[in-house]
Amino acid sequence: MATTEKISHRQLVKVSKFLSFVLRHKPDAIGLTLDAQGWASVSELIKKAPSEMSLTADLIRQVVITNDKQRFSLSEDEQRIRANQGHSIKIDLGLTPKEPPPVLYHGTATRFLASILREGLHPGQRHHVHLSLDMKTATSVGQRYGKPVVLQVASGEMYRQGYEFFLSENGVWLTEIVPPGFLARLE
């Protein structure tokens, strides 16, 4: 279906943040129901969203299509939507373990570095540790939290030692934990 609405960048960002909040963390904040795989009905989402969001199916479709991080997916019939990863709520994305490339990257802020090098990477409030395929993306992620630092992850070695990796629909590599022995700081 073609887009007919003129949607501002500002509105796309506002709706993207709202969708991240309800689809990844707090669906109950608006009384939204997610299934076991994290899918929500688009019509239910529109109905339950605050009126100031002015959600429409077209606006949701545009957020999904234009989001640079590809955070969301629509079902083939565009009747359901879900976040691709980053959940703090229990859902099953149906990801299949996959062999990662030999090296992946993790962006963080320098203030977290000492603890990460001592304890490794843990998912925190999320289900998985998020890893990037390239240093540029990892640096961008690290900048969200302060002065960025990039860690190199020996993902191939981890995999050979029995650690599982998953590739989300939007190209983010996921694993449950990265022990400190598999991390190296990049300058």
The CATH code for residues 9-83 is: 1.10.10.970
Q: Does domain 104-186 have CATH number 3.20.170.30?
A: yes
Q: What pLDDT does 2 receive?
A: 45
In a 3-state reduction of DSSP, which class is residue 79?
A: coil
Percent of the chain with pLDDT over 70: 97
Question: Any bridge partners for residue 106, and if so which?
Answer: 151
Backbone dihedral angles phi then psi of residue 32, each to the nearest 5 degrees: -85, 140
Question: For residue range 50-102, what is the model confidence (pLDDT) as tens digits?
Answer: 999 999 999 999 999 988 778 899 999 999 999 987 777 887 777 889 999 99
Q: Where are the domains of the chain?
A: 9-83, 104-186
Report the pLDDT averaged over residues 120-131.
87
Question: For residue range 138-183, what is the model confidence (pLDDT) as tens digits?
Answer: 999 899 888 999 999 999 999 999 999 999 887 889 999 999 999 9
User: Tokens 């691709």 label which residue?
Assistant: 84
For 133, residues 6+ apart whose C-beta sits below 8 A from its C-beta are 101, 104, 105, 171, 173
Question: For residue range 5-39, what is the model confidence (pLDDT) as tens digits?
Answer: 577 888 899 999 999 999 999 999 999 999 988 89
Q: What pLDDT does 67 receive?
A: 81
Expressed in angstroms, the distance from the first to the final Cα of the chain is 47
Provide the pairing of β-strand 129-131 with 173-175. Answer: antiparallel
The structure's pTM equals 0.66
Q: What pLDDT does 61 receive?
A: 94
Q: Do the first three CATH levels of 9-83 and 104-186 match, i.e. the same topology?
A: no
